[in-house]
Amino acid sequence: MKRQRRRAQRWGGTSAARRHSGPSPVDRLQSYLVSHLHTAKEALRRMRRTPFAMALTLLVIAATLALPTSFHVLVKNLRMVGGDLEATNEISLYLKPDLSNDAGRRLAERLKNHAQIAETRLVTKEAGIEQLKTYSGFGEALSALNFNPLPVVIGIRPKDSLTQPEQVERLVAELKALPEVDLVQSDIQWMHRLHALLQVAERSFGVLGALLAAAVVFIIGNTIRLELYGRREEIVVQKLLGATDRFIRRPFLYTGFWYGFLGSLGAWIVVGVMLLIVRAPIRQLNVLYGSDFTLAFLGFQETMALVGIACFLGVAGAFAVLIQHLRDVRPE
């Protein structure tokens, strides 16, 4: 604005007629803000004049934005599942079936003193069969058995100092070598696999996101380009009346902004509906696994980021097109 004013002054001359006809600085600021507000409203009103075209464009933008957003929500939820499992990163030792509860208890005591083990938890044969009856739904079939086929199980929580996968694997190998142990099951290995997978997912999220952001810029830019050519006459008249490029660009930038803004709201709703749809099956899974996992949606900050990025992409798309094509629109 300052630079504009300087230019205006340079060409303003010094005649008395000019002096009383130019707006004052306060006026200028006030009318600048008023004109921005007016332009924003006008851009929205103009979009609503062609509701079908607008709805279609918004739908495409919303779908394009919903893709990386839902991917993000998916990764976020998987990460939370991973986090839950990490908190219970137990190594389960299944002892040989002929070993008694007492023998198991003695082994558990011994292992508790192991340098790399924080805690041990004994599941006796009887406790094991109770758990199985409660969670598996095979209660009646198990009651029909006249003996207990389950081994004693010792749950082991390694010390927190065991952060490297190799350290954990070494401990697992050591436990496997114990004469009392039949089978060692560790969630930790597939935890690491999950983490590696999530990392791949996040990388591809970056690439996908960048591609789809470019798509949004392109869609909005194209919409603005059509609008620009539709309003050729108007732009020519504005230029003849002394409008700066900045003034002419403004309504189009607002149009881009609105497309980004409304498109992101659309994407938010699409992702929300998707989560509502999968909520029921997730609840069923929860019942089956006895877990209390709840689906996470977009948080406040993530929503703001989505809206902010979309608005930026909209304005950027409009700006790129205006820089390219506004020069072509000239009084003949």
Partner 1 sequence: MLEFKEVYKRYPEFGEALHDVSFHIGRGERVFLTGHSGAGKSTLLKLVAVIERATRGQIVLDGRNITRASNREIPYIRRKLGLIFQDYKLLYDRSVFDNVALPLVIAGFNPGEVSRRVRAALGKVGLLSKEKRLPQTLSGGEQQRVGIARAIVHKPDFILADEPTGNLDPEAAREVMDIFRDFNDLGVTLLIASHDEQLISRCGGRVLRLQRGSLSEVGA
**Interaction site with partner 1 (CB under 8 A):** 7-8, 10-13, 15, 17-18, 21-23, 27-28, 30-32, 34-35, 233-234, 236-244, 247, 330-331
Nearer to partner 1, 2 or 10 (CB): 10
Asked if residues 228 and 322 have their Cβ atoms less than 8 Å apart, the reply is yes
Nearer to partner 1, 45 or 287 (CB): 45
Nearer to partner 1, 140 or 328 (CB): 328
Residue 16 beta carbon to partner 1: minimum distance, rounded to whole angstroms:
10
Closest to 316 (Cα-Cα) out of 246, 244, 218, 231: 218
Residue 76 beta carbon to partner 1: minimum distance, rounded to whole angstroms:
47
Residues 64 and 209: their CA atoms lie apart, in Å, by 10
Nearer to partner 1, 34 or 211 (CB): 34
Residues 143 and 124: their CA atoms lie apart, in Å, by 17
H or E stretch at 328: none
Residue 47 beta carbon to partner 1: minimum distance, rounded to whole angstroms:
15
Q: What is the DSSP annotation of 156-204?
A: EEE-TT--SHHHHHHHHHHHHTSTTEEEEEESHHHHHHHHHHHHHHHHH
Residue 207 beta carbon to partner 1: minimum distance, rounded to whole angstroms:
40
Residue 243 beta carbon to partner 1: minimum distance, rounded to whole angstroms:
5
Residue 298 beta carbon to partner 1: minimum distance, rounded to whole angstroms:
40
Identify the DSSP state of 120.
E
Residue 315 beta carbon to partner 1: minimum distance, rounded to whole angstroms:
22
State whether the Cα torsion 12-18-28-26 is positive or negative.
Answer: positive
Nearer to partner 1, 11 or 52 (CB): 11
Nearer to partner 1, 83 or 327 (CB): 327
Nearer to partner 1, 4 or 164 (CB): 4
Residues 300 and 87: their CA atoms lie apart, in Å, by 26
| 13 phi-psi bin (left φ>0, alpha ψ -120 to 50, beta other) | left
Q: In Å, how far are 6, 39, 74, 301 from 304, measured between CA atoms?
A: 38, 24, 18, 5
